[in-house]
A and B are shown apart, each in its own frame.
Chain A
Amino acid sequence: MAGLTFCNVSKLYAGTPALDGIDAEIAKGEFVALLGPSGCGKTTLLRLTAGFEVPDKGRVALGGRVLAEGNTLVPPEERNIGIVFQSYALWPHKSVAGNVAYPLEVRGLAAAERKRRVAEALDLTGLSAFADRAPAQLSGGQRQRVALARCLVADPQAVLLDEPLANLDLALRGAMQEAFAAFHRRTGATMVYVTHDQTEALALADRVAVMEKGRIRQFAAPEALYDRPQDCFVAGFVGDGAVVSVDRAGSPVDGKVVVHALGQEIEARGHGTTPTHICIRPEQVRVDADGPITARVATCTYQGGRFRLSLETPAATLIAHAPERASIGEAMRLSLHSPWAFCDPAGLPAKDDGHA
């Protein structure tokens, strides 16, 4: 296993940047998710790591070995990186064991050693009973595990997963998520996982890189993305809630800052420069008869155990959770409890209804 380094990696497609100056460091054994809307460049970054795409600029390195930089280019065959495709890409003319054994065959391993390692990989993925089946005879989840076993059998330095759960139904996804997490714990593999499903990314990864328009907007632990987003895009894309622009604000002191927004003085959390926006999560909005903010219920949807309310105030729409159903149009008073204040680098006006 080895860590991955991206240094100012850029890639153009027909003049438009698919990747625009990617800088990132993935530690050995880390489980990283690349999260973003479709077209954000996350799959390009993954394919570039595997060697199927070539960067126009910048450097990709794996454990100190340069994979791509300038005229140096290691072809995919020689990278020793495993990849699990969205379509699984199992070879239909080979059995499960044949699929898993192929990387070892190519490396010219002796038959006995090959057999031992295939058995080990099949055992690790719980597929021992299916060794002689054809891929067509397997269920979606089983095929997924064959693809995983195939990419792990050769002991790759890193494992890449391209939306591996996109083709599975909801129930199976939960089970496979647990399987991936368990797998990562057992093997300690460096894993890069591409997804557009934030639940998946936040649940699985040690760190998540949120991407948009070919750039990494924020690369942090899941709880940091949710609690302390760096800009309006991350605040709006990750998690539920509202992003509201700030009229005036002081400078943060000891992680606290007073901002003026929604016509109120609000005590918020914050660091560094003077904030321009606040991100208000549903947990930070309380329905409170004595609250300073007046709002009107716009929608009310049941989410199992609680109701999600979107509440219109004169300046913005806030999201709150409530234990009881509210009627549309009903007036309410709200109070806010330490939302997160940040300075959006673009200084763009916030969306009034930012949610996932």
Chain B
Amino acid sequence: MIATSANPISRSPDRLISLLLLPVALIALGPMLRLLGEGFGIGSELTLVHATEVLSRPSTLTALQHSLVTAGAGTVLSIVIGSVFAFVVALTDIRAKAALVFCLMIPMMIPPQITALAWMQATGPSSVLLKTLGIAPPLGSPQPLYSAWGISLLLGIQHASIIFLTLRAGLRMIPGDLVEAARISGARGWRVWAQIVLPLSLPSLAAGAAMTFVTALGNFGIPAMLGIPARYSTLPTLIYQRLVGMGQSVLAEVAVLALLIGVVAIAGVLAGRLFLRRRAYGLVGLASQPLSLSLGRKRPFVELFLWGFILVTLVVPLLALVSTSLIPAYGVPLTPDTATLKAWVEVLFNQPVTRRAYANSLLLASSAAVILMAVCIPLAWLMQRRPTQLTRVIDALVDLPYALPGVVLAISCILAFIRLPFGITLYGTLTIILLAYLSRFLVVMLRPVQAAIGQLDPAMEEAAASAGARLGRRLFDIVLPLSAPAAAAGAILVFLTAVNELTVSALLWTGGTETLGVVIFNLEDSGDTVMASALAASIVAVVIALMAIVQLSSSRLPKGTVPWQG
């Protein structure tokens, strides 16, 4: 074949693969652009007057204030927890770091409404665990978590691992010789930490804090479970309640609210960037020698403290959840005689709604994982080997659907897919949830695959080209097998996140398309706490098993694939 261009990039197979960019851009970024258009009043009945009216309502302002308070307080708590763990794990010689990090990551990987449910089962007068142990508060006393503080506490615990991961990554970049230089200068212990390590790690702490704030702001599961019973609305729960209560007639109104969250989230990110720019230091030196401070005789106490924290924030709530799932009916105490697997059998095998939810969630999660895997390998290859203006733009923007709160994406998808040409609507189908998942989780799959392809020696492919293999064949024979481990890890992560997903599906589901996240929420909402607990406990088991698979295979994966192993 002789091409008619002097540029090998425009050879025809390459041009074909570039066509991939179009659907990717459309599905990943289209809905977001559609929402932006709505905000500026393009192609909709929304006017500025209407937007001003929605924004000046007392309910909007209260929800905004609640969102800021709970996300802010939750972020502060996450900073405290995450940075204690990060400093200790990254800087000292405590043992069993991998196990500790794994346990710290679990709260982030299990769905927030399950976290909330588990904590509700560990506190309050009706806690099965506390009643069994005989330490439950008297009947009639309030559930302490049904409050702004309860929401903030759980948000703080749920997102502590974001701070932990970014800060630990930052600490690993600090050259060990900077600390050695401080010690040679006579500084010791706390002084080294406060005057050398802390200032140098502030930028990554700020970046993590901004990310945590945005994630907490978008969290729907925790304020929904804890706030709705207490009539404490945040912006995501307000959108949910308006849309569920009033239906599509309030679409224009919730679009304004979604834009409001988007604006607050972007403001949070920009504040973090601004801080970074003012406090960024160029670190010179080799980070090859990681910092390692000996804790000496204090080590067992530090370890005891950290594991105690894991016990209180992870093990106790999960135990409470399991306890509740084992009783025959709510209110019955858990004893060896009353313990039963009835609720488990019911949710896993008998109830049509929970079985359907399992089927829907597994189908959605595995379809999203498989489709994204098929798309991301050629996409990442294209971005790495044939970068153009367009691939750079996509690269910069694919983070958006994942970083912005889920309600924003959900509203975007409703707007984008409710009225398609030829009178087609995707509203109320599994397809709309799948499209939303593809948009939201593209980046979860893309980044590990990009890392793997970035580490591939281009000569591997050139050798195959010299051997006579054309582009398609090279992608299949060389790039695919070599990026497969990362793609598999990415697929498991997508699967995990998609199974956990509530925020997007809470707004997009209808009868027949409910997901696991939605059903747990609905069961608890309608008082079926025992069944909700059994379903939640079964999901936690699946999540931990999948995480364990990723953890065990991490040594065979390229660096940067497993998010909790920097």
Residues of chain A having any CB pair with chain B under 8 Å: 50-52, 54, 56, 70-83, 85-87, 89, 91-93, 102-103, 106-107, 147, 150-151, 154
How many A-B pairs with Cβ below 8 Å?
86
Kindly list chain B residues whose C-beta atoms are within 8 Å of the C-beta of A83: 462-463, 466
Instruction: Identify A51's interface contact among B8, B459, B463, CB under 8 A.
Output: B8
Q: Give the CA-CA distance A73 to B465 in the complex, in Å.
A: 15
A70-B3 CB under 8 A given contacts A50-B462, A85-B459, A103-B467: no
Query: What's the Cα separation between A86 and B3 when bound, in Å?
Result: 29
Which of B11, B462, B477 gathers the greatest number of chain A CB atoms within 10 Å?
Answer: B462
For the complex of A and B, 5 pairs with smallest distance between CB atoms:
A103-B467, A89-B459, A76-B465, A89-B463, A85-B459
Which single residue of chain A is at the shortest CB-CB distance from B471? Answer: A77
Instruction: State whether A77 touches B463 (Cβ < 8 A).
Output: no
Q: Is the CB of B477 within 8 A of A102?
A: yes
Over the window 476-496 of chain B, the binary record of Cβ atoms lying under 8 Å from chain A Cβ atoms (1 yes, 0 no) is: 011001100000000000000
Q: How far is the CA of A76 from the CA of B6 in the complex (A)?
A: 14
Least Cβ distance of A52 to chain B in Å?
6
Q: Which residues of B contact A56 (CB under 8 A)?
A: 6
**23 A-B Cβ contacts within 8 A?**
A50-B462, A51-B465, A52-B8, A54-B7, A71-B6, A72-B2, A73-B5, A75-B465, A76-B466, A77-B465, A77-B468, A79-B466, A82-B466, A85-B457, A86-B459, A87-B457, A89-B457, A102-B469, A103-B467, A106-B464, A107-B468, A150-B463, A154-B468
Task: Please indicate the chain B residues that have their CB under 8 angstroms from the CB of A77 in the complex.
Answer: 465-466, 468-470
Please indicate the chain B residues that have their CB under 8 angstroms from the CB of A73 in the complex: 2-3, 5-6, 8
Query: Which one of B1, B8, B11, B473 has the greatest number of beta carbons of chain A within 10 Å?
Result: B8
Q: Distance (Å) between the CB of A258 and the closest chain B CB?
A: 53
Assess whether A78 is in contact with B4, with CB atoms less than 8 Å apart: no
Question: From residue 433 to 468 of chain B, which have CB atoms closer than 8 A to chain A?
Answer: 457, 459-460, 462-468
Partner of A52, one of B1, B7, B462: B462
Contacts A77-B469, A87-B459, A91-B478 given; does A102 touch B464 at CB 8 Å: yes
Residues of chain B with a CB closer than 8 A to A52's CB = 8, 462, 465
Which partner residue on chain A sits nearest B467 by CB separation?
Answer: A103
> Which residues of chain B are near A147, meaning CB under 8 Å?
463
Give the dominant DSSP class at A's interface: loop
CB-defined contacts of B467 to chain A, threshold 8 Å: 102-103, 106, 150-151, 154
Q: Are B1 and A75 in contact (CB under 8 A)?
A: yes
Is the beta-carbon distance between A92 and B466 smaller than 8 angstroms? Answer: no
Distance between Cα atoms of A32 and B463 in the complex (Å): 21
Given contacts A54-B6, A106-B469, contact A75 B11 (CB under 8 A): yes
A-contacting residues, B118-141, CB 8 Å: none
Beyond the given A75-B11, A87-B457, A91-B464, could you list 4 further A-B residue pairs with CB under 8 A, ordered by the A residue number? Answer: A50-B462, A51-B466, A77-B470, A89-B457
B462 touches A89 (CB 8 A): yes
CA A147 to CA B11, docked complex, whole Å: 27
Q: What CA separation (Å) do A74 and B466 show in the bound complex?
A: 12
Which residue of chain A has the shortest Cβ distance to B473 in the bound complex?
Answer: A106
Contacts of B473 in A (CB 8 A): 106
The CA-CA distance from A70 to B482 in the complex, in Å, is: 36
Bound together, the chains give a CA A89 to CA B468 distance in angstroms of 15
CB pair A78 B1 closer than 8 Å: yes
Q: Which residues of A contact B470 (CB under 8 A)?
A: 75, 77
Nearest CB in chain A: distance from B416 CB, A: 40
CB contact under 8 A between A81 and B466, given known A70-B6, A75-B11, A89-B459: yes
CA distance A75 to B463 in the complex (A): 13
Bound CA–CA A79/B462 (angstroms):
12
> What is the bound-complex CA distance between A81 and B469, given in angstroms?
12
Q: Mark B1-43, 1 if CB is under 8 A from A, else 0.
A: 1111111100100000000000000000000000000000000
Residues from chain B with Cβ under 8 Å of A89 in the complex: 457, 459-460, 462-463
**Nearest A-chain residue to B7, judged by Cβ:** A54
Cβ of A103 and Cβ of B468 under 8 Å apart?
yes
State the Cβ distance, A164 to closest chain B Cβ, in Å.
12
A75 contacts across to B, CB distance below 8 A: 1, 3, 8, 11, 465, 470
Bound Cα distance A154, B470 (Å): 16
Q: Which residues of B contact A72 (CB under 8 A)?
A: 2
Asked if A85 meets B468 with Cβ closer than 8 Å, knowing A54-B6, A71-B6, A91-B478, the reply is: no
B4 contact set on A, CB distance < 8 A: 71
**Distance between Cα atoms of A86 and B11 in the complex (Å):** 26
A50 B481 Cβ-Cβ under 8 A: no
A106 cross-chain contacts in B, Cβ below 8 A: 464, 467-469, 473
Contacts of B481 in A (CB 8 A): 93
Task: Note all chain B residues with C-beta closer than 8 A to A81.
Answer: 466
Interface centre among A75, A82, A87 (most CB of B within 10 A): A75
CA distance A72 to B1 in the complex (A): 10
Complex Cα–Cα for A79 and B8 (A): 14
For A151, list chain B residues within 8 Å (CB): 466-467
What is the CA–CA distance of A50 and B468 in the complex, to the nearest angstrom?
A: 11
Report how far A33 CA is from B85 CA in the complex, Å: 58
Please, which residues of chain B bring their CB within 8 A of the CB of A80? 468
Q: Which residues of chain A have C-beta atoms less than 8 A from B482's C-beta?
A: 91-93
Residues of A with C-beta under 8 A to B477: 102
By the criterion CB–CB under 8 Å, are A74 and B469 in contact?
Answer: no
CA of A154 to CA of B467, assembled, Å: 8
Q: How far is the CA of A86 from the CA of B462 in the complex (A)?
A: 12
Q: In the complex, what distance in Å separates the CA atom of A87 from the CA atom of B457?
A: 8
A residues near B478, Cβ cutoff 8 Å: 91
- Residues of A close to B2: CB separation below 8 A: 72-74
> Could you tell me the distance between the alpha carbons of A81 and B465 in the complex, rounded to whole angstroms?
10
In the complex, what residues of A have CB within 8 A of residue B462's CB? Answer: 50, 52, 76, 83, 85, 89
Q: How far is the CB of B41 from chain A (nearest CB, A)?
A: 45
Q: How far is the CB of B418 from the nearest CB of chain A, in Å?
A: 46
Shortest beta-carbon distance, A75 to chain B, in Å?
A: 6
* Nearest chain A residue, comparing its CB with the CB of B8: A54
| Nearest CB of B to A103, in Å | 4
A147 CB to closest chain B CB (Å) equals 8
Residues of A within 8 A of B11 (CB): 75
Most chain A beta-carbon neighbours within 10 Å: one of B3, B11, B463, B465: B463
**A186-B231 Cα distance, complex, nearest whole Å:** 87
- Find the A residue at minimum CB distance from B482: A93
Identify which of B11, B465, B466 gathers the most chain A CB atoms within 10 Å of its CB. B466
A135 to chain B, nearest CB (A): 11
Q: Min CB distance, A73 to chain B, in Å?
A: 6
A154 to B465, CA, bound (A): 13
Please measure, in the bound complex, the distance between the C-alpha atom of A82 and the C-alpha atom of B473, giving whole angstroms. 18
Which chain B residue lies CB-closest to A71? Answer: B4
Output the nearest chain B residue to A52 by Cβ-Cβ distance. B462
Segment 375-403 of B: residues with Cβ below 8 Å from A: none
Cβ proximity bits B309-345 to A, threshold 8 Å, 1 near / 0 not? 0000000000000000000000000000000000000
How many Å lie between the Cα of A56 and that of B462 in the bound state?
21
Q: List B contacts of A150 (CB < 8 A).
A: 463, 467
